[in-house]
Structure 1
């Protein structure tokens, strides 16, 4: 038997295993097997399936047969280059042939919700998102994760390795492409079933569930990168920009009424303190208890106009007011009132200015990051995180943003997920921390290189490495160095959140925070 024939049989075997996997996971029904097999045969230009018996061994995921099929797809020209980006495009194309239609997914979700409850419905929908390889659990499992003790409780630190990096050639090619017109962004509903391109991911294996929030059409899906358990995205039916209003808070409360086992939150709607996508209104939620939720109340307050609502200053490096109440209507009014008061609030002694002038226009600086969840007693709980996006000469990236001495660890915006105490640090840190550990274990040549060569990979960490060597020396064991660096990085994340806090966790900062709370009409209990 020739190599080509052997390869052909291996590919047909992988194809059959993938169809069996889809059947076992409930992605397709028994009556869909022949149809699904034939669609895959057509894609790979086969006239007939494997003639032999395929062992029905269980698969923990689709990756093993997928890799064989994608390799073959490159060999026969289904993708022009064997890069991670093109392989992902073909991956989604293959799995899309094994997916239920969007209407079938929606019907199954609603049937499960009606018969077994909303938690069972999200369980099944999440399972489909994983089984279909839309959520790449093989990559998510590569993320580095640890818990970090801090004065504010244990925070969660991750080094994100799940998002594949494009190679320089792909980046250069993507820059030559015209600006995207369709879909307008990666959150638009038109992504469902989209084949993708070099600068836009394929989404044939994406499914979304329609929702009604505040009487408006929204959609529910899972994030392909799941930074935490059942990380979901809730996005507007239309491509409309992020804007925090009273309606935003109503949508968040409506969502937690529909999904009481999930939290939901919104990024702020201003640059620097907002998320990476401000062009399409959306929220993020999921089934995870974040460090912020566990943080205690330091001082309690009440407002005479909002009966049944309690407010508390949260022990957290950022400035957070927690509103709690059983009546979502009253809580909505309290949330909106606090937001409107904060938008107009200035305190020069605390470097808080609500507005500035630019080209004769008034530019707003105050906004919030709101998070809503159900409380243990069945009521509603809202964490309102105060934000300000002002800049100055000393901090041109943002006064309440990671300061430059932290940029070697993180320089991106502090968004919703990190506000809640889960650090998402760049994948480059995995290798960089390993090299720094080597220095702490005695690699003098590498230490000398970063001290003298500004172009060295670790030069961005030069000041930090010198500080570490001065404090801890260069005779650590590998395990001790790795543990030390995790602790140091975790501490820096806590400090970064402190940079983003508008009222600092000092005596003066606490007094300034209480001045704002009092100005909003709250009285200490």
Structure 2
């Protein structure tokens, strides 16, 4: 059977034109070496029809485990899987050459090629991503997307024990986003990257890269990363880079996580952005209050109807758009309004920042600036503008770029926990987590629950919690007081260079 799997794997690569006829024997012998096999039986013909490539890869890895070439744990299996798929993955030079040749045809042709390649070589974990639970919550702000993220495998106890005895880091690659990850074998404390490739691209006189996310949360979920390992910093140059990216790839949105803890992303040590080919609810949200900036006549501005606090700027003039966004960022950094608990600084620590998102729509560039504040108090130790305690049974992690736009990434624990909530609501034997007790009792009291409706009721309730999470993270609430305070902030910067007030609401 293993001889058949080797033969089929090579034939699939040959048929897909990933292995040149002259390279068949070389690739075959490299594959045999990887799985610890010394010889291949003669006369084996490829299966008809050819099997699924990933299933064939699984059988090759299983053989290596059986022969004790690798240990039977997730990390070592992933490392070998990536090495096997690297055999059919072109070198970075070849991928980059093809990408930029296709780019001359169209940016879509180039990204489609690279996205398909990243799926075919199993860098994008398509099978794992399919496990995610997804549903929609309709709200007055649009359709929020709810996902329970099951794609990233949890480490088993054996792997955890092995990882504790292995070096935590060799200092190379410096971090998970550094370009040194391209082709890196990986180890128990670092993911396998043998089949990883990066497109090199110029970005405002800097060297950057484009790659796809292994555990994509949406269509063509990609990452733009600096070649230099430097911390994320939100500044004027950020807006310039974001607009430059959507100029090069107008079919993609791109955004940056905020640059402060609590309201920022999980990796603040390496400058990077996230993008992709997906339309989020926030992008469809209308302008609630237009206002004018006469120093930037080409820029349309307004407050977005969204549970978080969003200023939208639109223009065909990139220079004016960057200047207007920088004006708002600079003003927000040091803006306080005690009446709505916004303090720009406490004890020398700055709290205000922005989550920016760029798009190209209807022949204009668009920047959404989401105002963020990471201040904590004794009452809200996790953050004033962070999911509050009463919703943390569903979501207690940071609210980053993707969730800001209306896609919830909920923890895998919820699959089992919500199943127990369902049993509880149906008065069946259950192991209800105490954190869900109050919420479940409220559902029992207010909803008509049957075997047929319970699943839909729970999904709808989870979606309502995510809406609350976004409202908690919004610095200006959707109340009369909150909207008035938001307008006060607008008027704080809406002045011309001569000093007269220029901001006005339509």
The equivalent of 1:141 in structure 2 is 130
Judged with a 3 Å threshold, the aligned counterparts in structure 2 of structure 1 residues 56 and 442 are, in CA distance, closer, same or farther, namely same
Question: How do residues 66-465 of structure 1 correspond to structure 2 at under 5 angstroms?
Answer: 66-80=57-71, 82-114=72-104, 116-180=105-169, 181-357=171-347, 362-376=348-362, 378-443=363-428, 445-446=429-430, 450=432, 458-465=433-440
Q: Give the aligned partner of residue 3 of structure 1.
A: none
Larger CA deviation: 398-407 vs 463-472:
463-472
The correspondence of residues 448-487 of structure 1 with structure 2, limited to 5 A, is 450=432, 458-472=433-447, 476-477=450-451, 479-487=452-460
What is the TM-score normalised by the length of structure 2? 0.95
Using the TM superposition, name which of 339-348 and 45-54 deviates more: 45-54
Q: How many residues align?
A: 496
* Alignment CA distance shift 1:246-1:175 (3 Å): farther
Which of 30, 34, 43 is the matching residue for 1:43? 34
Deviation track 1:436-457 (CA, whole Å, cap 9, x = no partner) reads 11122221x42xx64xxxxxxx
Unaligned runs of 5+ in 2: 495-502
Cα distance in 1 for residues equivalent to 2:48 and 2:463: 45
Matched, 1:52 2:19: no
Q: Which runs of 5+ in 1 are unaligned?
A: 1-9, 451-457
> How far apart are the structure 2 equivalents of 1:73 and 1:320?
53
Cα deviation 1:144-186 (Å, max 9, x = unaligned):
1111101211111111111111123323432443342111111
Alpha-carbon distance in structure 1 between the residues aligned to 2:265 and 2:112: 27
Deviation, structure 1 residue 58: 4.5
Deviation at 1:302, TM superposition (A): 1.2
- Secondary structure, aligned partner of 1:123: helix
Corresponding position of 2:9: 18
Question: Cα distance 1:306–1:64, how it changes in 2: closer, same or farther (>3 A)?
Answer: same
Task: State the secondary structure of the residue aligned to 1:289.
Answer: coil
- Please give the secondary structure, in 2, of the residue aligned with 1:523: coil
**TM-score, with normalisation over the residues of structure 1?**
0.92
Query: CA, structure 1 residues 26+353, in 2 after alignment: closer, same or farther (shift >3 Å)?
Result: farther
Please give the alpha-carbon distance, in whole angstroms, between the structure 2 residues aligned to 1:268 and 1:483.
34
> What secondary structure is seen at the aligned counterpart in 1 of 2:453?
helix
> Which secondary structure does the structure 2 equivalent of 1:170 belong to?
helix
Q: Per-residue CA shift, 1:40-59, capped at 9, x if unaligned?
A: 12223232355221124255
Q: Could you tell me how far apart the structure 2 residues matched to 1:66 and 1:129 are?
A: 16
- 2:500 alignment counterpart: none
The RMSD of aligned alpha carbons is 1.4
Whether the 8 Å CA contact 1:112–1:121 is kept in 2: the answer is yes
CA–CA separation in structure 1 for the residues paired with 2:315 and 2:14: 46
Per the alignment, in what secondary structure is the counterpart of residue 211 of structure 1? strand
For residues 27 and 471 of structure 1, the distance between their equivalents in structure 2, rounded to whole angstroms, comes to 58
Q: Aligned partners of 1:495 and 1:24: how far apart in 2? A: 51
